[in-house]
Amino acid sequence: MHPECLFHTQVSFNVSSDSSPLWHRFPHLENEGLGDGGWRLQDTHALLLGPFQTAFGPELKEACQVYQILGHGLPRDAQKRTLTMCEPVAALAAVSVSSQAAASGGQALAQQVHPPKIQGSERRNRGITEKVQQSRAGRAPNGTSRPTMGNSASRSDFEWVYTDQPHTQRRKEILAKYPAIKALMRPDPRLKWAVLVLVLMQLLACWLVRRLAWRWLLFWAYAFGGCVNHSLTLAIHDISHNAAFGTGCAARNRWLAVFANLPVGVPYAASFKKYHVDHHRYLGGDGLDVDVPTRLEGWFFCTPARKLLWLVLQPFFYSLRPLCVHPKAVTRMEVLNTLVQLAADVAIFALWGLKPMVYLLASSLLGLGLHPISGHFVAEHYMFLKGHETYSYYGPLNWITFNVGYHMEHHDFPSIPGYSLPLVRKMAPEYYDHLPQHHSWVKVLWDFVFEDSLGPYARVKRVYRLAKDGL
């Protein structure tokens, strides 16, 4: 540690001669999981809690020792985040030990840095609901005023963790307790018919908009076509898990996805399948999960106005990000997907002219951009509460999105079709009812734009060792 980090306070303290391990001299740390001498970066808040609670009492010199050792044994970027997190210790050391006002201030800061743990139903009641109440009151989660359109987000990096994704272990526990859930891992016979109806609806709309005024064309592209095309992309998501015909009929699933892709206007179904496998296998994986924004996105889209623009441009980022983060070789199915899509686009243009093609493309761009259904892009994995990287939504928009809102259940059991995901929650409620959940995708978008703790950087990331077996 650099000396100026500690002694810039112009106050000196004698180092304790007690050579016992640090966690032995802080009994409260045993309750935080450090009693065995283990070290976790996320437990730095626990190290600070004890000294702050006594506020400039005898443990203040111990706090300085904590601040001095926190960075040892951690990667360089982790040291930087850790020392930044512990700067309040050095700042508080400059305050007089005998000041009663300083003592009360230290206690208040301790409560902010390390809030009490929330268990069970209390967490469910106070989790995201508390954020909703704060937002309605015009306050940010930390009690400050809501940022204006020009203020920057508070995050400057992703939330790095050194643990495995939680879905693998929970899946094992649920299957051990409720083996009947395996019966849900079967194809959904309704899916192919739902796709057929949606595609025919868009073809009919193409015929209807031929002589429509441009302003009304764009209106219906957002209000109706955006919903249908977004629903089709989520049908493609379900089909990518072989939900239509099962794993034994992979080719049928691929071609159904290509058919569902037709009203979208641009070929993407085959590429989505190729990258979506990595999203499940390497959730939050650095350089592997292309669902996580790039550092450039996190750095630039950091103000409410820029985050709003980022939401509008979501279709472009989802399309181009894989080419930058984790480029893969073009497959035969991607070539076929492109040829079929181009043929369909040319046919629609030849039959009905330019307006139907503009309608389809506008439906995709508007429906996947700043649209109520697009709230699921943010709701699924952006860190609204620390320690939680996947969230579910159980509202009515699931009716037109193939239950993509049941995202916690989906990541636990990706081979179960969206139609059956509500049954997973019904069969194992104790694994899901206590977890934080979203109640409105529109509210999710609002919070994402105006909460300074949210932004493209509000994602959990981890480093994976690549699996050696093929995809």
DSSP string, 89-143: HHHHHTS-TT-HHHHHHHHHHHHHHSPPP--HHHHHHHHHHHHHHHHHTTB-TTS
**CA 366, CA 230: separation in Å to the nearest integer?**
9
State residue 55's pLDDT score.
40
Ranges of residues in the chain whose predicted pLDDT is under 70:
1-153, 467-471
236 and 294 share one domain: yes
State residue 466's pLDDT score.
74
Q: Which residues pair with 438 in a beta bridge?
A: 393
95 and 165 share one domain: no
**CA 240, CA 410: separation in Å to the nearest integer?**
13
State residue 88's pLDDT score.
43
What b/e sequence results for 253-288 when a residue is b if at least 16 CB atoms lie within 10 Å of its CB, and e otherwise? bbbbbbbbbbbbbebbbbbbbbbbebbbbbbbbeeb
In single-letter form, the type of residue at position 22 comes to L
In single-letter form, the type of residue at position 48 comes to L
In a domain, 210, yes or no: yes
Cβ atoms of 373 and 397 within 8 Å: the answer is yes
State residue 152's pLDDT score.
65
State residue 76's pLDDT score.
44
H or E stretch including 393? strand 392-393
165 and 107 share one domain: no
208 and 352 share one domain: yes
State residue 311's pLDDT score.
97
76 and 179 share one domain: no
User: What total of structural domains would you count in the chain?
Assistant: 2
In a domain, 331, yes or no: yes
**CA 196, CA 182: separation in Å to the nearest integer?**
28
96 and 163 share one domain: no
Q: Which residues pair with 392 in a beta bridge?
A: 437
User: Taking the CB of residue 387, how many other CB atoms lie within 10 A of it?
Assistant: 11
Q: How far is CA 58 from CA 55, 250, 260, in A?
A: 9, 67, 68
State residue 48's pLDDT score.
41
**CA 323, CA 331: separation in Å to the nearest integer?**
14
Look at the pTM and tell me if it is higher than 0.85.
no
Residue that finishes a domain, picked among 79, 113, 147: 113
172 and 93 share one domain: no
62 and 200 share one domain: no
- Report CA 392 to chain centroid distance, whole Å: 11
State residue 299's pLDDT score.
96
Phi and psi torsions of 38, nearest 5°: -70, 160
State residue 467's pLDDT score.
55
Q: Which tokens sit at 120?
A: 């069970």
- Taking only the tens place, the pLDDT of each residue in 111-138 is 333 344 434 444 444 544 454 444 444 4
State residue 301's pLDDT score.
96
Cβ atoms of 296 and 235 within 8 Å: the answer is no
Residue 93 sits in which domain range?
A: 3-113
Residue written as tokens 């934080």? 436
296 and 426 share one domain: yes
In a domain, 152, yes or no: no
- Taking only the tens place, the pLDDT of each residue in 225-256 is 999 999 999 999 999 999 999 999 999 999 99
109 and 175 share one domain: no
371 and 436 share one domain: yes
Residue that finishes a domain, picked among 75, 92, 113: 113
56 and 203 share one domain: no
